Amino acid sequence: MSDQTPSADPVRISDMAYARFNAPDLARMAAFGHDFGFRDIRHTPEGLLAFASMRTFPAHITTEGPAGFAGFGAFMSFDGLSHLASRHGIPLDRLEEPCHAHRITLRDPDGFPVDLLCPDSLHVRPPVPRPGWNEGGALGRESVRLTLSPGPSRIRRLGHIVLAVSDMTASRQWYESNLGLRASDYILAPDGVTEAGVFMRCSMGSHPVDHHSLFLLARPAPGFLHAAYEVEDLNDLMTGHDHLQRSGARAHWGVGRHILGNHIFDYWLDPFGHELEHWTDGDVLDETHPPGRHTLQTLLGVQWGARLPADRRQV
């Protein structure tokens, strides 16, 4: 296990960009995407591009084909891309419409494609205005009647990706070296020593970042586990939960609050079985926080809400 310290190395991502999938029916995926909460979905020659509210860059991409996970993208500086391109002996790609960016694509030790992107410009939209909270004696909404509109959640951005990996040490070291990620929490096997999982966050010095942008879990067969999308707040998550229930979407786990990362979660399955999460109110950490070490029971536990279904407890 590594207690990696942040550095000035430009080879580090600043945030996640998108999750990429294949699906045999793009119309069904688009319908689900609207119900899940993407603000704008476009059919393009490159596939189905779904945009969130925070950035003018797709947060979910689907290409027509047999259903499956096709990789993810993350943002990195041009200097970082240039360093990695030189290290791996590969050229920088150029993306044009609808998103102008430089890109390199790497494959991690299990072969998962990882797109690293430097957009020409990355416009960040202001947050959606929303009512305050009256709680614990702190009044954030005085003389205002709260009225919530039914409908989908409002997805802000991709928060994290969760992958099953065949060699935990090799994968963790690869993501440390090529994405600049650092450990927030380790999950230990029952022997109390073996590394069974790791939550990894961006290394941004004193700037607070999400508790994790990537979670790796050791399993005999590598594969995609889920992609997590941040929504506006708890009310937004719950109105979206009701909307997805009414739309006939398949609920998977939730609503509850995790122990590690502390975010409120709600998991769903898209029409082709990919697991997607709505989340809000997670921990943010800066460079001063050393990694914690926890058991599998802590990983699977909740602080409140829905317990993990029995058929998913074997990790």
Residues 132-171: tens digit of each pLDDT: 999 998 999 999 999 999 999 999 999 999 999 999 999 9
Query: How large is the C-alpha radius of gyration of the chain?
Result: 19
Q: Is residue 309 pLDDT above 70, yes or no?
A: yes
User: Exposed e or buried b for every residue in 184-223, given b needs 16+ CB within 10 A?
Assistant: bbbbbeeeeeebbbbbbbbbbeeeebbbbbbbbbbbeebe
d(CA 204, CA 256): 29
> pLDDT at position 283, please?
98
Q: Is residue 108 pLDDT above 80, yes or no?
A: yes
Tokens representing residue 44 in the block:
């393009």
Helices (H), 166-216: 168-179
Taking only the tens place, the pLDDT of each residue in 17-38 is 999 999 999 999 999 999 999 9
Show me where the domains of the chain are located: 13-122+153-312
Q: Is residue 314 pLDDT above 90, yes or no?
A: no
Per-residue pLDDT, averaged over 244-270, amounts to 98
Per-residue pLDDT, averaged over 279-306, amounts to 96
> pLDDT at position 97, please?
75
- Name the strand (E) or helix (H) holding 113: strand 113-119
Total number of residues shown for the chain: 315
**pLDDT band at residue 313 using 50, 70 and 90 as cut-offs:** low
What is the CATH code of the structural domain delimited by 13-122+153-312? 3.10.180.10
